[in-house]
Structure 1
Amino acid sequence: MPQENLYVFNHVPKTAGTAFKKFLSSNVASGRFLDIIHPNKEEVGRVIEACDLSDYDWICANFHNEQIARVRELSGRRLKIVTILRDPVERGLSLYRFIKNKKTHALYEMVSRLSLTEFVSSTDLTRQLSEYYPLGSGEGVLRPRSNFWSTTSSWSALRRKWTER
């Protein structure tokens, strides 16, 4: 019989989520932990649809809100949603360095040619990043926003911090 609650870890990249998932995988009963690792949101949705969610106590992925709602519907269980947040400036710097140094990242070709100022100023990149890395909060669930950076002041702070290094 499945637990009453299903725990959903909505992994926001560059927020120590990988370390948290390692902790979970070593502390959750074997076979009761589903880690959906896929950069393509549609694939995350297909995995959710194909799984018997009653087999799991924890499900981890970088979810869209609609996918979390679908997990709730398919599981018939009460969801407990966990997310780790990070200072947005530090997260932005980390993301910039991560993409620039990971040739297999989907945005590497674009980002590898950009300065930090161009990175935080690019409206085309902002749209693409918001698909990969949802931000914003409400009702306990992270929500994608139209802009990757929360405010213009975050951009300025990011630029200042970068030039101080």
Structure 2
Amino acid sequence: MKNKEILIHLHMPKTAGTTLKYIIGKNIDRNSNFHVYKADPERDAILKQLTKKNVACIQGHFPFGVHHYFSSPSTYITMLREPAERIISEYYFIRSIRTHDQFEKVMNMSLEEYHNQNEHMNLQTRLISGYLGDQLTTAHLEQAKQHIENYFSVVGLTEMFDQSLYLMKKFFNWQTIDYRKQNITKNKPQIHQLPKKTIESIKENNQLDNELYHFSKLRLLKQLNSFFR
């Protein structure tokens, strides 16, 4: 990464992104490291204000496209997670946090009801493609893949977290990648403890995310292999 590039951390929910955010905070001056965890239109207003500041890094739950606000060059990073594991973690995480803005709503839902809502399907493809409409298609999956190839220095995987960090350290010349796990979902059952029918249904609803995950895994492995040659 060039020194003047803005690092954009597209913080994918429940993928170890909070731990990554903590690591980034140890390597980038906090005065130029900005967190943007608001929905539009407030997010739009915040990003417009940031164009007037000295920005080295932006982190938050936002879709692809933040780089359009800035004239300086930028690069993205994110973490992806096996889709069923991510959704299960997200569901139980929200139910464990009374201050979460979705707590009351999700407490009145079963896991089946939660994962069958359109807004919770293929979230990883949705955010990386930048498409926030109702129905995702394979065209949006292809758009997400193109964004990864053209704009993302590293797309890490929760299941390969240490290897992903190693790659980021190499790309961005980070001084330290020591960490303690942050924001862990408590009282979450293991995936094998849930009904097989439920897991199959989640996977069926998230086929685009599953393909994006495996696409990103192959890319990550190729990048890692290039450093070990």
TM-score > 0.5 by shorter chain: yes
Cα gap change, 1:94 to 1:58, in 2 (>3 Å) = same
Cα gap change, 1:105 to 1:30, in 2 (>3 Å) = closer
- Aligned-pair identity (%): 21
Partner residue of 2:14?
14
Q: Gaps spanning 5+ residues in structure 2: where?
A: 139-190, 197-229
1:107 lines up with 2:102 in the alignment: yes
Partner residue of 1:70?
68
Cα gap change, 1:102 to 1:137, in 2 (>3 Å) = closer
Aligned residues: 142
Following superposition of structure 1 onto structure 2, how do residues 1-165 of structure 1 map, counting pairs within 5 Å? Answer: 3-38=3-38, 40-52=39-51, 55-66=54-65, 68-71=66-69, 75-121=70-116, 123=117, 126-127=118-119, 129=120, 134-136=123-125, 141-144=128-131, 146=134, 162-163=194-195
Matched position secondary structure for 1:41? coil
**Matched residue type, 2:194:** W
Cα gap change, 1:23 to 1:77, in 2 (>3 Å) = same
Please identify which structure carries the higher helix content. 2
**Matched residue type, 2:34:** L
Cα gap change, 1:134 to 1:81, in 2 (>3 Å) = same
TM-fit CA distance, 1:143: 2.9
Structure 2 distance, partners of 1:97, 1:37, is 20
**Aligned residues of 1:134 and 1:144 also touching (Cα < 8 A):** no
Moved runs in structure 1, 4+ residues, more than 6 A?
none
TM-fit CA distance, 1:77: 1.5
Cα gap change, 1:19 to 1:95, in 2 (>3 Å) = same
TM-fit CA distance, 1:162: 2.1
With structure 1 as the length reference, what TM-score do the two structures score?
Answer: 0.70
**Aligned residues of 1:93 and 1:162 also touching (Cα < 8 A):** no
TM-fit CA distance, 1:137: 6.6
TM-fit CA distance, 1:103: 2.0
Structure 2 distance, partners of 1:97, 1:26, is 29
Structure 2 distance, partners of 1:53, 1:7, is 16
Tell me the alpha carbon deviations over residues 55-85 of structure 1, each in whole angstroms, 9 at most, x when there is no partner: 011111112334x1532xxx21222011110
Structure 2 distance, partners of 1:162, 1:84, is 25
**Aligned residues of 1:135 and 1:143 also touching (Cα < 8 A):** no
Structure 2 distance, partners of 1:99, 1:89, is 16
Structure 1 distance, partners of 2:129, 2:16, is 16
Alignment RMSD, CA only?
3.2
**Aligned residues of 1:32 and 1:55 also touching (Cα < 8 A):** yes
TM-fit CA distance, 1:28: 0.9
